[in-house]
Chains A and B, each alone.
Chain A
Amino acid sequence: MTLQECYAALEGDYESVMGRLRTERLVQKFVLKFLDDGSYALLTTSMESGAYDEAFRAAHTIKGVGQNLSFNKLYESSHLLTEALRAKNIEEAMPLYEQVKADYAQTVAAIRQYQASL
């Protein structure tokens, strides 16, 4: 699996990230590093315990990282979740949270597959 195929699998924008980070080496480094990022774990625990302020920051971080790495699908859903949490609209946030979970799973699965092929 190439990095470009990985981006296709997680529905990201390979061209955009290469345009900004410049080298495949750097993109690869951060894509793999994404697996170790603790923000998602923080999001799930804080959502489940009802700590929505913290959940907001976690979603915001996922959004920022997703944006920086051009993980467009994950970025979109985490962006919506962030805004819902910022507005403290929990009712709206819940289905968005499910979407983020699904997108995160998709993203991680694609990266794992890419990692395995290295």
Chain B
Amino acid sequence: MADKRKQRILIADDSEMNRSILADMLGDDYDIIEAENGKEAVAILRKQAAQIDLVLLDIVMPEMDGFGVLKMMNDFRWIEETPVIMISAESAPARVQQAYELGITDFISRPFDAIVVHHRVVNTLLLYTKQKKLMNMVTDQVIEKEKQSALMIDILSHIVEFRNGESGQHVLHIRTLTELFLKHLNQMSERYYFSKSDISLISTAAAIHDVGKIAIPSEILNKPGRLTDEEFAIMKTHSEVGAAMLEALPVHQNEPLVKRAYEICRWHHERYDGRGYPDGLKGDEIPISAQIVALADVYDALTSERVYKKAIPHKKAVEMILDGQCGKFNPLLMDCLRDMEDMIPGAMSSSEAKDWSDENVLRNLMEDLMQREEISVSGRTLQILEHERMKYQFFADMSQEIQFEYTASPSSVSISEWGAKHLGLDEIIRDPRHDAKVIATMNPESIDRLAELLAHTTPQSPIVNFDCCVRMGGVERWMKIIARATWSQDEPPVYKGAIGKAIDIHETRVKMAALEEMAAHDTMTGLYNHKFARIRIQDMMTRKPGSNFALGIFDVDHFKQANDTYGHMFGDQVLIHVAKTLKRNMREGTVSARVGGDEFLLFFEYREHVDLAINRIFNSLIGTYEAFPISVSMGVAKTDMLGTDYDTLFHAADQALYAAKRAGRGQFRFYDGDSCGTLSLISPIDGDEREQPQRPEDDRTDGGKEKET
């Protein structure tokens, strides 16, 4: 990155003229930031010290002078990474001396000479760039070395476990528990203090506590039943054997790791009251490292399944240990265990979820690196990263949002703490597409669709919006997922995964649906309005292109009389009654709508005997309302004859209705192709956008058609 971007120079000088002269001298090769006093310079450094490659610093400035800035740069250790060239006419030797002591790299005195300024800047930048590169190389090598030794220890301890027939998690658990106890001891007792590197050393050494079991015959190691006294005596030798192996190492005797491992191997079966083995050490004769590993070992042995026993639940295991059933331990450690009781199961399961060898070792390493003076420079960068991470986590927790990060290969998802809890999922999920809990939360089609959308983004437009149903606590809710795909810097770019969040839009969505529903219905009868019925009908025909459908239109005979005789209120009641009757008698899947003043529409799929179906509905509509006799006239059009164009069907049904009325009302007619002219009978109702059709002038007597609703 440093190679690509322009190097950034901060010029702190109170004279705009002077800053401008310097900026001009440096030319366009650099990215120049200016500060007009010391405070401003510090504020800029505070925000972006890591991105500033060089500071040109004046001495005499208001608010805070150059020495003040230098002091801050020392306090915050920015000076270790960002070189400073002092610019000033001040040449009193004491001041120059003071400036060098505060860590400046060079001095430029006024008046500025363009060539001198340019060369000093270039040289200083070059020097620091080389130094940074060198430091990164060292860091990389240290990381590589630590990785390899962690790997070797992992391999070694897994060999032991493998022979032992243990779960493979044992080493992990011992490490995690040891680390947990050590950290807590630091907090609860003044007697012990373990530095970060002590903790890392002891928990790493703990991994090979059982290395001596390599020398135990596997018939004894893996015997399902109780060991005989003789066998047990052999088994017990493993601690001495392990220690002897380490003692016999031809080199590395003085390595702290080997020393700790020796203590742990030899004495992790000693007990506080002197009743352990092999040496019968008592109390604090037993090194604290061995005491802690002994406790961790006992706990994990109890809670794990072995060839000779079942797993004992966490609470019970802690009880047994506190009760002294597994031998006597340091009372301090018992307090420690009591304090930690609730945290242990969580820590154990999260240790399983993470890859110990990478993450923890590297984290410890990072912390170690920060403590080492000579490479503290990259430490600061890491500190900034850590700070960013902490900031991010804090805001994620505060926002109560479901935030996630998805890595495409190997497929895994991590969810923000709050989000995971809210969804009832783990924070880190490997292979989410095949995770039972994930699939129970979001259906696989949605997951695949989302994955597909993300994979088909481009680095230029990486954002995806996706609405889907998510099940939480047994209830389905609508969520909007907004995600940004991440692409590598490679050429061509490679899709790496995504970051994003899910927002609960259930309420909004439900409201929208309700509004849509309202807009789709005729307010008086609660049936669909024509506009919406048309959409539904077209949709049904598109979905099932091979099926037969019938579309019927009917109106209420002599409706005008009801209106005229009993008033419009009564007329409305009649329409509501008809709508209810229709709803009650139609089969599921039938679309019904009010399409005009007293005209109704129905539409359904049929297999055979469409005439019987129509007849049934037709007859069900005949009756009375408050002594007003109700009958209808109906026209029907079928897709098997007319195809699936809605307008054609509607028009044909309308014509058949016209024919039915002309034939004396109270009957239904199927459109048969040759009937009845081309005039429509249908009148509009309010809000129906259908064009007002023409109506036959000679048919006024049958009523209803002139009614306003």
Distance between Cα atoms of A97 and B25 in the complex (Å): 32
Q: How far is the CB of A47 from chain B (nearest CB, A)?
A: 16
B-side contacts of A30, CB under 8 Å: 17, 20-21
Contact call B110/A64, Cβ cutoff below 8 A: yes
B88 closest partner in A (C-beta): A64
CA distance A70 to B114 in the complex (A): 14
Kindly state whether residue B304 has any CB partner on chain A within 8 Å. Answer: no
Pick the residue among A20, A26, A34, A57 that contacts B111 (CB under 8 A).
A20
Chain A proximity mask over B1-45: 1 for CB below 8 Å, otherwise 0: 000000000000011111011001100000000000000000000
A84 adjacent to chain B (CB < 8 Å): no
Residues B17 and A26 in contact, CB atoms below 8 Å apart? no
Q: Check A68/B110 contact, CB under 8 A, given A37-B15, A54-B62, A60-B60.
A: yes
Nearest Cβ in chain A — how far from B420, in angstroms?
A: 57
What's the minimum C-beta distance from A31 to chain B, rounded to whole angstroms?
10
Closest Cβ of chain A to B229, distance in Å, is 91
Chain B residues near A63: list those with CB within 8 A. 89
Please state if B18 and A21 are interface contacts (CB–CB under 8 Å). Answer: no
Contact A37–B17 (Cβ < 8 Å): yes
* A57 to B64 CA separation, bound complex (whole angstroms): 12
Inside 8 A of B25's CB, which chain A residues have their CB? 21
Binary flags per residue of A57-74, CB closer than 8 Å to B gives 1, else 0: 100110111011110000
- Whether, in the assembled complex, B112 has its beta carbon less than 8 Å from a beta carbon of chain A, the answer is yes
Interface centre among A17, A26, A70 (most CB of B within 10 A): A26
Bound-complex Cα distance A34 to B15 (A): 11
Interchain CB contact under 8 A, B114 and A68: no
The listed residue (B20, B62, B89, B115) touching A64 by CB distance below 8 A is: B89
Residue B285 lies at the interface, judged by CB distance under 8 Å to chain A: no
- Closest Cβ of chain B to A66, distance in Å, is 9
Residues A37 and B111 in contact, CB atoms below 8 Å apart = no
Is B339 part of the binding interface, using a Cβ–Cβ cutoff of 8 Å?
A: no
A39 to B61, CA, bound (A): 12
Chain A residues, CB < 8 A from B112: 20-21, 68
Given A37-B15, A37-B16, A57-B14, answer yes or no on A67-B114 (Cβ-Cβ < 8 Å): no
- Minimum Cβ distance to chain B for residue A108 (Å): 14
Q: How far is the CB of A34 from chain B (nearest CB, A)?
A: 7
Q: Could you tell me the distance between the alpha carbons of A65 and B13 in the complex, rounded to whole angstroms? A: 11
Contact (A70, B111) CB under 8 Å given A37-B15, A57-B62: yes
Rounded to whole angstroms, the CA-CA distance of A37 and B17 in the bound complex is 7
Kindly list chain B residues whose C-beta atoms are within 8 Å of the C-beta of A33: 17, 20
Q: Cβ of A57: which chain B residues have Cβ within 8 Å of it?
A: 14, 60-62
Cβ-based interface call for B113 (8 A): yes
Point out the residues of chain A lying under 8 angstroms from B21, CB to CB: 21, 30, 68
- In the complex, A60 Cα to B88 Cα: how many Å? 10
Known interface pairs A33-B20, A57-B62, A60-B60. Does A67 touch B111 (Cβ–Cβ under 8 Å)? Answer: yes
Q: Mark B108-131, 1 if CB is under 8 A from A, else 0.
A: 001111110000000000000000
CA distance in complex: A74, B185 (Å):
71
Q: Which of A16, A19, A64 contacts B15 (CB 8 A)?
A: A64
Contact A65 B17, beta carbon cutoff 8 Å: yes
Q: Considering residues B16, B21, B62, B113, which has the most beta carbons from chain A within 10 angstroms of its beta carbon?
A: B21
Contact assessment for B18 and A68 in the assembled complex, using a CB-CB cutoff below 8 Å: yes
Tally of B interface residues using CB under 8 Å: 19
Minimal Cβ-Cβ distance residue in A for B14: A61
Q: How far is the CB of B507 from chain A (nearest CB, A)?
A: 58
**Please, which residues of chain A bring their CB within 8 A of the CB of B16?**
37-38
The chain B residue with its CB closest to the CB of A38 is B16
In the complex, which residues of chain A have a beta carbon less than 8 angstroms from the beta carbon of B113?
Answer: 19-20
Given contacts A26-B24, A30-B20, A67-B89, contact A61 B111 (CB under 8 A): no
Complex Cα distance, B113 from A34, in Å, reads 18
The interface residues of chain A lying within 8 Å CB-to-CB of B61 are 57
Q: How far is the CA of A70 from the CA of B115 in the complex (A)?
A: 16
Complex contacts, B111 vs chain A, CB 8 Å:
16-17, 20, 67-70
| A34 to chain B: closest residue by CB | B17
In the complex, the chain B residue whose C-beta lies closest to that of A61 is B15
Q: Are the CB atoms of B15 and A39 closer together than 8 Å?
A: yes
Nearest-neighbour CB distance to chain B for A82, whole angstroms, equals 9
Considering residues B15, B110, B114, B115, which has the most beta carbons from chain A within 10 angstroms of its beta carbon?
Answer: B15
Alpha-carbon separation in the docked complex, A26 to B16 (Å):
15
Q: How far is the CA of A109 from the CA of B685 in the complex (A)?
A: 88
* In the complex, residue of chain A having the shortest beta-carbon distance to the beta carbon of B37: A57
Tell me which of A34, A60, A63, A64 has the highest count of chain B C-beta atoms within 10 A of its own C-beta: A64
A90 and B113 alpha carbons, distance in the complex (Å): 34
Q: CA–CA, A69 to B15, complex, Å? A: 13
User: B279 CB to closest chain A CB, in angstroms?
Assistant: 75
Q: Which residue of B has the minimal Cβ distance to A13?
A: B111
Taking CB atoms, residues of chain A closer than 8 Å to B89 are 63-64, 67
Within 8 A of B (CB), among A67-96: 67-70
Kindly state the separation between the CA atoms of A21 and B117 in the bound complex, as whole angstroms: 11
- Cα distance A70–B17 in the bound complex, in angstroms: 13
Q: Is the CB of B60 within 8 A of A68?
A: no
Known: A54-B62, A63-B89. A22 touches B114 (CB 8 A): yes
Question: Which residues of chain A come closer than 8 Å to B14, judged between CB atoms?
Answer: 57, 61
Q: Give the chain B neighbours of A39 by CB distance below 8 A.
A: 15
Return the chain A residue nearest B15 by Cβ: A61
How many Å lie between the Cα of A17 and that of B21 in the bound state?
Answer: 12
Q: How far is the CA of A80 from the CA of B114 in the complex (A)?
A: 26
Contact mask A6-26 → B, CB, 8 Å, 1/0?
000000000011011110001
Minimum distance in angstroms from A85 CB to a CB of chain B: 11
Within the complex, the shortest CB–CB distance from A86 to chain B, in Å, comes to 9
Chain A residue with the shortest CB-CB distance to B16? A37
Interface string of B472-489 (1 = CB under 8 A from A): 000000000000000000
CA distance A68 to B115 in the complex (A): 14
Q: How far, in Å, is B19 (CB) from chain A's closest CB? A: 11
A72 to chain B, nearest CB (A): 10
CA distance A19 to B115 in the complex (A): 10
Contact with A along B570-586 (1 / 0, CB 8 A): 00000000000000000
Once bound together, how far apart are the Cα atoms of A29 and B17, in whole Å?
10
Contacts of B110 in A (CB 8 A): 64, 67-68
Whether A20 and B17, one on each chain, are in contact in the complex, defined by CB atoms closer than 8 angstroms, is no
Known: A22-B114, A30-B17. 7 other contacts (CB 8 A): A33-B20, A34-B17, A38-B16, A39-B15, A65-B17, A68-B17, A68-B21
Question: Which 9 residue pairs across A and B have the least CB separation, nearest first?
Answer: A20-B113, A61-B15, A67-B111, A68-B111, A65-B17, A67-B110, A60-B60, A22-B114, A37-B17
Binding site for B on A (CB under 8 A): 16-17, 19-22, 26, 29-30, 33-34, 37-39, 54, 57, 60-61, 63-65, 67-70
19 A-B interface contacts by CB (under 8 A): A16-B111, A20-B112, A20-B114, A21-B25, A21-B112, A22-B114, A26-B114, A29-B24, A30-B20, A30-B21, A37-B16, A57-B14, A57-B62, A61-B15, A64-B15, A64-B110, A65-B18, A68-B17, A68-B21
